[in-house]
Amino acid sequence: MWATNLKILGVVLGTLALYTLIANKIPQVQSEVPHALTLGADVTPEQLVQAGEQVFTGIGGCTTCHGLGTRAPNLLTDEKGQGPIGARCGKRESGKDCKAYLYESLTQPRAFVVQGYEPIMPDMGRTLSPQQIWAVIAYLESQGGTVDVSGADIPAAAGPTPGAGPGNAGAGGLAGGSTDPMAIIHAAGCIGCHKIGAEGAAIGPDLTHVGGRLNAAGIREAILLPDAKVTKGFEKFAGIMPKTFGQQLSANQFEALVAFLAAHK
Amino acid sequence: MIDAVHFLQAATDSIPAYRDFPLIGSRAAVWIAAEIHLMFAAFVLGVPMFAVVAEAIGIFGKDQRYDRLAKEFTRLLLIAYSATAIWGAVLVFLLATLYSKLWAYLTTIFGVSMWVYVSIFFFESFTLYLYYYGWDRWKYGRAKWGHWGLGILLNLWGTLVMFIADSWLTYMMTPPRDITPDTAPGSIKLWHAMMNHTWMPINIHRLIGNVVFGGAIVGAYASYRFLAAKTDEERAHYDWMGYVGNFIAISALIVLPFAGYWLGREIYQYDQSMGITMMGGFMSWLWVIQAFLIAVLFLTGNYYLWVGMGRIPGAERFRPYTKWLLVVLVLGAIVWGTPHTMIADSRELAAMGGSHHPFLGALGVMSAKNTAVNLMILTTFLSFLLYRRANTRPVVPWARTGTMIQGGMFGIAAAIVLFFGIRGYFVEAIVRIGYSVYQVGAVLSCIVFVTIIDVMMGRGAQSLGAIQWGKMPPRSQYALFILAVTFTWLMGLMGFARSGIRQHWHVWQVLQDTTKYAATPALGQAAIMISVCVLIFLSLVGFIFWLGGLAEKSTFVPAGPAAPTGKEGGHVGH
C-alpha cells in the first residue's frame, strides 16, 4: 500500500508542479496600486511621455482594447494610411486640435466615437488623476505627432477636478461659469449620450421630456448619483455616466440646469 | 474606575487598522485560511446534493447500492464539516486581528446576517448528525421518507448558509452604486447591501460548482479506496462509486460555463473597467491557464471513460472511434488555449501590429474559442453515449433509424456550431456575442434529444454482458486523482480571479487596501499560493479518507469467507 500511496502523492505533486510551472512561465503582470503622479510646472515633454507610457501600458489598462484593433482603434500603429494616433488625432474631429481631441476622448469618450466601433470606453477621469491623463495625452501625441502638452496644462493637486478640461474649466465651473443651461449641457458633454431635442445620442435616456418623468429632486439625484436609479432599458449602460458633476458645476449652474430640465415636460 | 474605563476606551480607539502576520504576511495568511475554508465548504455543500439524489434513486428504484452510496458520501461529510468549521473560525480570527478596520466595516453592515448565519450553521450541523446517525434506524417504510426529508432539509440549510456568506464577498466586489467612501456603514441597509449585482450569479455559480467539486472529490475518494481494496467486492463497489463521482462532476461541469457567463455579464454591467480588467487586463492570461485546466479535465474525463470501456463487453466495436474523439478534443484544447491578447510593450505591440499575434490571433478570438469548447462538449457527450451503449444492442424495430437520427443530430449541432463560429468573424462584436447562444442552444438541444432517443431505444435492449465493475487498470484511478487535483486548482484560480479584480480595494471603490500587500500579485505568485492551499486541503482530505477507511472496514469484513454476511456486506457491484 505504501507504493500506491507514494504513486498517488507523485501524481498529486506532479500535477500541482505542472500547473504552478506553467503559471510562472507566462508573462507576469502585477496589478500595482496607482501612485499619485507628481508633475510640476517645469515638467519636460520627455518626462510627460515617459510617465504617459507607463500609465498607457500599466494601470491605465489602455492596451486591453487599443491594440486589438477589434474593440477599439489601435493607437500605436497606422490606421488607413493616416499614421499612428499622434499623426491622426488632429484630423479626427473638426475644430479640435490633437490635444483637445485626446482630452475629450479620455474624459468624455462618448462625445465622439470612431465609426465602426462600439461606445465601450469608460471615462478615464474616474480612474486616473489629471496628471496621469495629461501624461497619457503627451505619450499618445508622441506616437507620430508633436508633444504640445506642458506643465501649464496640468492642474495643481488642489486644482480643477478630473472632468475639467481645456476650454471649459473656469473658476466658476464648466462653460466658464455660465448659467446658460444649453451651454452647460454642451460643456459637460451631456449630448454625447443623451438626446435633447434634435441634438445628442441615444446611449442614455432621452432628456427632451425629462421633466415629465422626474421632478426637480429626481433630476438632482440623477445628476449627482447617476446610478442610484437606472432608467429601465438602460441597465447595460449603468456606471457610464460620470459622478463628478456635483464637483464640476457651481451651485448656480447646477440649479439652473435642474430647473431647465424639470421644465422640459 | 473611570480612569480604567478611559484607558480601555483609549486602547480600543488605538486599535490599528492592520496588523501583520509573522513570516508569510497577513495577506497570505488570510488567503490560505479563506481558500481552504472555501474548499471544504464547497465539498460539504456539494456532497449532500447528490447524497440526497442517490438516496432517492435507492428509494424509488429499490436499489440498495444507491442507498449505501449515499450513506458513504454522508460519512465523509461528518469529518469534513468539522474541518470546514475550524477553517472558518481561523479565517474569522485572522480577519478580525489582521484586518481590523475591514472587519469592523463588514460587521457593521452585515452583523445581523452573521448571527443568522451562525444559527443556520447550528441547525445544519445537527440535521447532518440526525441524517447520518439515523440512517439505519430510519431505513424502511415511512421512516425512510422522513429520513430523506432530513437530507433535503440539510441541503436547504446549506444553501442558505452559502447565500448569506456569498452576500458578504459579493458586496466587497460590487457594492451598490449609491454607496461611496463617505457613506457611513451604519447607514447601509442590510438587504440593500446583500442584493448587490453579483450576489445571485455567484450563488448559482457556486451551487453548480459545488456539485462539480463534490463529484470530483468523491471520485478521488473512490479511486483511493479502489487502489487500497483487498477484495474484488470492494474494488467493484469503489469502481462504480468512482464512475458515479466522475459522471456527476463532468455532467455538472458542462453547465457551469453558462452560470459563469451570467456572472461575467453582471460584472461588466456593474463596471466595465472591472470587466475589462478581468477579461482583457492584467488577468487576461489567467483565462489561458483556465483553458489549459479545462482541457485537462475534458481529456482526463474522456480518458477515464475510454479506459472504462475495457471492462464492458461489446465496447470493443466503439474503440476505433476514440482516436477521432481524441483528435477533436486536442484540437479544441489548442484553439481554446490560444491567447486573445498578448502582453507586450509598445515596441512589440507596434511590431506585431497590435496585441494579436498575426497568425495565431485568428484563433484567439471568441468565435474560435466558443466553437472549440462547444465541439469539445459534444465530443465528451458522444463518449458518454458510447460508454452507455457499449454493452447493449437495441432491439426496437426502429433502432437503425433512431441511430441515424442521433447521428444526424450530432452532425446538425456540429454544423450549427461551425457555421456561427465562422460567421462570427464577419460581423460586429455585438452580433457575434449573440451567436454563442445559438451555438450553446444547438449543443444542449442535441444532448437532450439524443438522450431521449437513446433511453427509448434502450428499452428491452439485448445485453452483451454485465459491466465487469472492478476490472479497471490502476491508471484509470490515477486519472480520477488528476481530475480532483485539477478541479481543486481550478477552483483556487477562479477564486483568485473573482477576488483579484477588486485590485487594491477591500470594497471596490469604497474601502481601499492600504497595506503593503495591496498590489494584486501576478499569476506566478498566485499559482504558488493556490498550489499550497490545494496541497494543504488535499492532505487534510487524505486524512479524512483514511479515517473513512477505518470506519468502513467493519462493513467489508463480513463479506469475507470466514465472517457472517451482514445486510450491506453482501453487495456486489453491478
For B512, phi and psi rounded to 5 degrees? -90, 145
State the pLDDT confidence band at A36, using cuts at 50, 70 and 90.
low
**Is residue B348 one of the residues assigned to a domain?**
yes
Q: How does pLDDT run across A156-204, given as a tens digit for each residue? A: 543 333 333 333 333 345 666 677 788 778 767 677 678 787 776 666 7
Q: How far apart are CA B250 and CA B245, in angstroms?
A: 9
User: Do B91 and B178 sit in the same domain of this protein?
Assistant: yes
Tell me the average pLDDT of chain A: 78
* DSSP structure string for B301-313: HHHHHHHHGGGST
- B531, B537, B546: which to substitute to probe chain A, counting the most A Cβ within 10 Å? B531
**A170 — phi, psi (to 5°)?**
-110, 175
Asked whether the beta carbons of residue B485 and residue A15 sit closer than 8 angstroms, the reply is yes
What confidence tier does B365 reach under pLDDT thresholds 50, 70, 90? Answer: confident
Alpha-carbon distance A22 to B249, whole Å?
25
Domain span holding position B363: 313-466
Q: Cell for B395? A: 432491439
Contact list, B432 vs chain A (CB under 8 Å): none
Element (H, E) at A200: strand A199-200
CA B245, CA B224: separation in Å to the nearest integer?
Answer: 13
Report, in angstroms and rounded to the nearest whole number, the Rg of chain A calculated over CA atoms.
Answer: 23
B306-341 pLDDT per residue, tens: 999 999 998 898 989 999 999 999 999 988 888 766
Among the residue ranges A138-147, A188-197, B556-565, the one predicted with the least confidence is: B556-565
Say if CB B454 and CB B406 are below 8 A apart: yes
Q: Is residue A91 very low, low, confident or very high in pLDDT (cuts 50, 70, 90)?
A: confident
Q: What's the pLDDT band for B381 if we cut at 50, 70, 90?
A: very high
For residue B119, being part of any structural domain is answered with yes
Q: Does B354 touch chain A (CB under 8 A)?
A: yes
**Residue B571: pLDDT band by 50, 70, 90 thresholds?**
very low
Question: Whole-angstrom Cα distance, residue A135 to residue A58?
Answer: 13
> Is residue A116 very low, low, confident or very high in pLDDT (cuts 50, 70, 90)?
confident
Amino acid letter, A244: T
Instruction: Please judge whether A76 and B365 are an interchain contact, meaning their C-beta atoms are less than 8 angstroms apart.
Output: no
SS3 at position B532: helix
Q: Measured between CB atoms, does B224 come within 8 Å of chain A?
A: yes
Per-residue pLDDT, A83: 84
The total of structural domains in chain B comes to 2
Query: What local confidence, expressed as pLDDT, does residue A139 receive?
Result: 94
Q: Which residue has the higher pLDDT, A37 or B267?
A: B267
Better pLDDT: B295 or A26 = B295
Of residues B456, B478, B172, B459, the one with CA closest to residue B307 = B478
Decide if A45-153 and A169-263 have a common fold: yes
Does residue B569 register a pLDDT over 60? Answer: no
Does position B564 have pLDDT exceeding 70, yes or no?
no
Which one is predicted more confidently, A205 or B434?
A205
Residue B395: CA count within 13 A, CB half-sphere: 8
- Taking CA–CA distances from B271, the nearest residue in chain A reads A239
Q: Is B144 inside any structural domain? A: yes
Return the pLDDT at B560: 38
In this structure, the dihedral spanned by the alpha carbons of residues A170, A173, A178 and A179, taken in order and rounded to 10 degrees, is -170
Continuous segment of H or E residues that includes residue B320 = helix B319-336
pLDDT at A74 over 70: yes
* Res. B570 pLDDT band, cuts 50 70 90: very low
pLDDT at B272: 72
Question: Which residues contact residue B294 at a Cβ distance below 8 angstroms, ignoring those fewer than 6 apart?
Answer: B336, B373, B490
Q: Give CA–CA dist A129/A38, Å, rounded.
A: 10
The answer to whether residues A125 and A168 touch, using CB atoms and an 8 Å cutoff, is no
Question: What residues of A are in contact with residue B354 (Cβ under 8 Å)?
Answer: 67-69, 74, 77
Q: What is the pLDDT of residue A237?
A: 66
Do B491 and B378 fall within a single domain? no
A14 pLDDT higher than 80: yes
**CA torsion B515→B520→B525→B531, rounded to 10°?**
90
- Residue B568 lies inside a defined structural domain of this protein: no
pLDDT, position B45: 92
Q: Residue B172 and residue B106: Cα distance in Å, rounded?
A: 9
pLDDT at B350 over 70: no
- pLDDT for B325 equals 94
**Looking at CA atoms only, how far is residue B205 from chain A in angstroms?**
21
E-assigned strands of B373-437? Answer: 392-393
Based on the fold, state whether residues B162 and B199 are members of the same structural domain.
yes
Q: Would you state the pLDDT for residue B156?
A: 96
Helical H runs in B14-140? Answer: 25-60, 64-98, 100-133
Residue B494 C-alpha cell reads as 477562479
- Cβ–Cβ below 8 Å for A57 and B345: yes
A30 grid coordinates: 502585477
- pLDDT of B32 reads 96
Q: Cell 490599528 appears where? A: B16
Judged by average pLDDT, the poorest of A9-13, B269-273, B418-422, B507-511 is B269-273
Whether residues B131 and B222 share a domain: the answer is: yes
Q: What is the mean pLDDT of residues B53-70?
A: 87
C-alpha cell at A39: 508633475
Cell, residue B23? 513570516
Q: Bigger pLDDT: B123 or A253?
A: B123
Dihedral, B294, B300, B304, B306 alpha carbons, nearest 10:
100
Q: Check whether residue B516 and residue B452 sit in a common domain.
A: no
Measured in angstroms, the CA of B213 and the nearest CA of chain A are apart by: 16
pLDDT-based confidence at residue B9 (cuts at 50, 70, 90): low
From A168's Cα to the closest Cα of chain B, the distance in A is 26
**CA–CA gap between residue A163 and residue A247 (Å, rounded):** 9
Dump the DSSP string for B544-563.
HHHHHHHHHHHHHGGGSTTS
Q: Does B291 fall in a domain?
A: no
Residue A223 CA to residue B314 CA, distance in Å, equals 71
B379/B385 Cα distance (integer angstroms): 10
Amino acid at B446: C
Per-residue pLDDT averaged across A211-216, rounded?
84
How high is the pLDDT of residue B363? Answer: 76
Q: Is the separation of the CB atoms in A26 and B523 below 8 Å?
A: yes
Domain termination residue (choose one: B466, B494, B512):
B466
Of the two residues A115 and B229, the one the predictor is more confident about is B229
Tell me which of B282, B292, B496, B540 to substitute to probe the interface with A (most A C-beta atoms closer than 10 Å): B282
CA dist B23 and A8 (Å) reads 30
- Written out in words, the top-level CATH class of the domain with range A45-153 is mainly alpha
Residue with cell 487534510: B540
Interface ipTM: 0.86
Chain A (217-246) residues lying within 8 Å, Cβ to Cβ, of chain B: 225, 227-228, 235-236, 238-240
pLDDT > 50? residue B559: no
Domain-by-domain residue ranges, chain A? 45-153, 169-263
User: Are residues B348 and B480 located together in one domain of the fold?
Assistant: no
Give the model's confidence band at B80: pLDDT under 50 very low, under 70 low, under 90 confident, else very high. Answer: confident
Give the distance from CA B117 to its chain's centroid. 23
Q: Give the relative orientation of helices B284-308 and A2-25 as an angle to the nearest 10 degrees.
A: 150
Give the closest residue to B256 by CA, choosing from B197, B206, B321, B190.
Answer: B206
Pair B289, A26: CB distance under 8 Å: yes
Searching chain B, which residue's CA lies closest to the CA of residue A25? Answer: B524
What's the count of helices (H) and strands (E) in chain B, helices before strands?
Answer: 17, 4
What percent of chain B has pLDDT above 70? 88
**B174 found inside a domain:** yes
**Are A192 and A108 spatial neighbours (Cβ–Cβ below 8 Å)?**
yes
Query: What average pLDDT score do residues B359-375 get?
Result: 81
pLDDT the model gives residue B370: 86
**Touching check for B504 and chain A: CB below 8 Å?**
yes
CB of A74 within 8 Å of any CB in chain B? yes
B434 shares its domain with B503: no
Report if pTM > 0.80.
no
Answer yes or no: do B188 and B50 share one domain: yes
CB atoms within 10 A of CB A158: 5
| Span B208-229, average pLDDT | 91
Residue among A31, A69, A225 whose CB faces B178 most closely = A225
Tens digits of per-residue pLDDT, B458-508? Answer: 888 888 888 899 999 999 999 999 999 999 999 999 999 999 988 889 999
pLDDT (mean) for B163-174: 95
Using DSSP's 3-state secondary structure scheme, residue A195 falls into strand
Q: Give the percent of chain A with pLDDT over 90.
A: 14
Amino acid at A104: E
Q: How does the average pLDDT of chain B come out, rounded?
A: 86
Strand partners, B505: B512
Task: Compute the count of residue pairs across chains A and B with CB atoms less than 8 Å apart.
Answer: 162
- Mean pLDDT over residues B172-183, rounded? 89
Band of residue B356 on the pLDDT scale cut at 50, 70, 90: low
Closest chain B residue by Cα to residue A128 = B273
Distances in whole angstroms, Cα of residue B302 to Cα of each of B146, B218, B387, B407: 38, 18, 10, 19
According to DSSP, the β-strands at A199-200 and B392-393 are: unpaired
Across the range A92-109, mean pLDDT stands at: 88
Chain A CB within 8 Å of residue B355 CB: yes
The set of residues, in sequence order, having a beta carbon less than 8 Å from that of A5 and lying 6+ positions away, is none
The reply to whether B426 falls in a domain is yes
Q: What is the 3-state secondary structure (H, E, C) of B438-483?
A: HHHHHHHHHHHHHHHHHHHHCCCCEECCCCCCCCCCHHHHHHHHHH
One domain for residues B523 and B382: no
Q: How many residues does chain A have?
A: 265
3-state DSSP call for residue B362?
A: helix
Does the domain spanning A169-263 belong to CATH 3.40.50.720?
no
B429 touches chain A (CB under 8 A): yes
| A contact test, residue of B27, B266, B273, B427 with most A CBs within 10 A | B273
The kind and range of the H/E element at A170 are strand A169-170
Name the closest residue on chain A to residue B357, using Cα atoms.
A68
Q: Give the confidence band of B123 by pLDDT, cuts at 50, 70, 90.
A: very high
Residue B540 located in a structural domain: yes
**pLDDT value of position B5:** 53
For chain B, report the end-to-end CA distance as a whole number of angstroms: 76
Three-class DSSP category at A241: coil
